[in-house]
Structure 1
Amino acid sequence: MTSTGNPGGTPGRTPGGTSIDLNADLGEGFGRWHLTDDEQLLSVVTSANVACGFHAGDAATMRRVCDLAAERGVRIGAQVSYRDLAGFGRRAMDVPSGELAAEVAYQIGALEVFARAAGARVAYVKPHGALYNRVVHDEEQAGAVVAGVRLADATLPVLGLPGSRFLAVAAKAGLPVVTEAFADRAYTDEGTLVPRGREGAVITRADDVVERSLGLARSGVVTSHSGRDIAVRARSLCLHGDTPGAVDLARRVRARLEEAGVRVEAFG
């Protein structure tokens, strides 16, 4: 997969220089179980990927996160997934295209109710976990996700990996596309994410994550798992909310970016 430029694929340029959106996966709880520190992360990020009930999240959690995000001016995004609560949406699944499209639209619609009640709206869509990785290469599943997004709202931007089939299909269907990068995930030489089951797939050293964030924002370059510098041009940077010390790390990343003159703001 080649990480080439596209309308959503380069770090933003503003009168003050480079800009980057910071997104995080939020609302990843269910009932009495809570995984992410939503309130604290919403003081750092500019876009919130809210779990819509299929890999995590429930009605009360979605409403609470939407209220907090709207109050703080953070953009609300629907994080759609395979129906896999037990596996946190990270297990491979085979879902017929029509069924997947309907389930994607269903998740977006559920979150939209709470976003509108908070005085905001769902502003973009991002697949989660196994679905995110599947649509990098699988055009049929990518098409199903795109069909689901269009069923819910044909104007919604979608977030995805640069060079993925998902973004190509979405762009062809007329959806705005926004590329994203991951500072805490290892990359292959082809620009895809190293599978979580492999050693070193997740970058755990905080200093490394901070410096990788800066490199991605300023130059669109990251060092791959094998040590090669590869181009990963992205308009949004994902900060995982379910990792230990996620809030402190997110604060460090944002502070480092701003110190270096990178403007942290939602993509537009």
Structure 2
Amino acid sequence: MTAAKTIDINCDLGESFGPWRMGDDDALLAVVSSANIACGFHAGDPDIMQRTVALAVAHGVAIGAHVSLPDLQGFGRREMAVTAAEAYALTLYQVGALHAFARAAGARLRHVKPHGALYNMAARDHTLAAAIARAVRDFDPSLWLFGLAGSALLDAGREAGLQVASEAFADRGYREDGSLQPRREPGALITENDLAIAQAMAMAREGKVRAVDGSIVELQADTLCVHGDGPHAVAFARNLRAALLAADIVVAAPGADA
């Protein structure tokens, strides 16, 4: 009997700050299997981190550190010139901060995922990617590293001896080389629910996505990212999970049985 296919649904959470609120984290945590929790550099603060970890524990969702460049005003989406040593230190700093909250809640970290500009930079810059991977390994070699499918970050993670999860995006446009279309370009965000669900299912079942130029790109999808900051985020996450389950695809975090 063929084993059922398993895929993870991850979401960027804990992105509120002080009295300002972003997204419905509680509702999303009832749907997703992995939570990438902001660590204070692009979003979040100590109170939000503690609250989001507690919610993730209550929902049985895998906890991950969503590490970023130090760019609170720009939400971590502006590229910065950082050295490999700086990337190592900022990754270790943020992972350590979230680990403290997880440990206090009787839980543990399961993965690390860079955010925004740092994610895209590490996808193409092997030196930067290697620094991030080393920081994750030096903190805890059992942690999974999430990165863009086919990217330098996943290569660096494997070279560092980490378990890696190839990430695909349901609601983002892809270029013909497998990179994400920049947000500033038309078509970078797929806003139609049915189109995003169809793209996600093609990636989950067939390992393929249609690029913006019409070509077909092959990619591995171990984890599907849904963004938690849109007005229809919860409904979309629910629809995606339902579509996966209807296709006999199990939704679970990487290494959930470990």
Q: Confirm or deny a common fold (TM above 0.5).
A: yes
1:53 matched to 2:44? The reply is no
Do 1:39 and 1:68's aligned partners in 2 also have CA atoms closer than 8 Å?
yes
* Match of residue 249 from structure 2: 262
Q: Which digits, 9 at most, give the CA deviation of each residue in 1:210-249, with x for residues without a partner?
A: 1111111111111111112211211100001112210011
**Which is bigger in relative contact order (C-alpha 8 A, separation at least 6)?**
1
TM-score using structure 1 length: 0.92
The offset of 1:146, in angstroms, is: 1.5
Q: Which digits, 9 at most, give the CA deviation of each residue in 1:5-63, with x for residues without a partner?
A: xxxxxxxx973x22210000000111011112110000000000000000001111111
Do 2:176 and 2:215's aligned partners in 1 also have CA atoms closer than 8 Å?
yes
Question: Identity rate of aligned residues, in percent?
Answer: 50
Do 1:19 and 1:217's aligned partners in 2 also have CA atoms closer than 8 Å?
no
1:224 matched to 2:211? The reply is yes
1:31 matched to 2:2? The reply is no
The offset of 1:155, in angstroms, is: 2.4
- Secondary structure at the residue paired with 1:62? helix
Question: Which residue among 221, 240, 246 is the counterpart of 1:253?
Answer: 240
Equivalences for residues 144-159 of structure 1 within 5 A: 144-159=131-146
RMSD of aligned residue pairs (Cα, Å): 1.3
Do 2:167 and 2:225's aligned partners in 1 also have CA atoms closer than 8 Å?
yes
Do 2:174 and 2:211's aligned partners in 1 also have CA atoms closer than 8 Å?
yes
In 2, the alpha carbon distance for the partners of 1:241 and 1:76 equals 15
The alpha-carbon distance between structure 1 residues 72 and 14, as it changes in their structure 2 partners (threshold 3 A), is: farther
Q: Which digits, 9 at most, give the CA deviation of each residue in 1:60-92, with x for residues without a partner?
A: 111111111111110000000000000000001
In 1, the alpha carbon distance for the partners of 2:163 and 2:6 equals 18
- Secondary structure at the residue paired with 1:242? coil
In 2, the alpha carbon distance for the partners of 1:198 and 1:171 equals 32
| Residue type at the aligned position of 2:159 | K
TM-score using structure 2 length: 0.96
How many residue pairs are counted as aligned between the two chains?
A: 255
The offset of 1:147, in angstroms, is: 2.3
In 1, the alpha carbon distance for the partners of 2:215 and 2:87 equals 36
* Match of residue 101 from structure 1: 88
Equivalences for residues 159-238 of structure 1 within 5 A: 159-238=146-225
In 1, the alpha carbon distance for the partners of 2:185 and 2:64 equals 29
4+ runs deviating over 2 angstroms: none
The offset of 1:150, in angstroms, is: 2.4
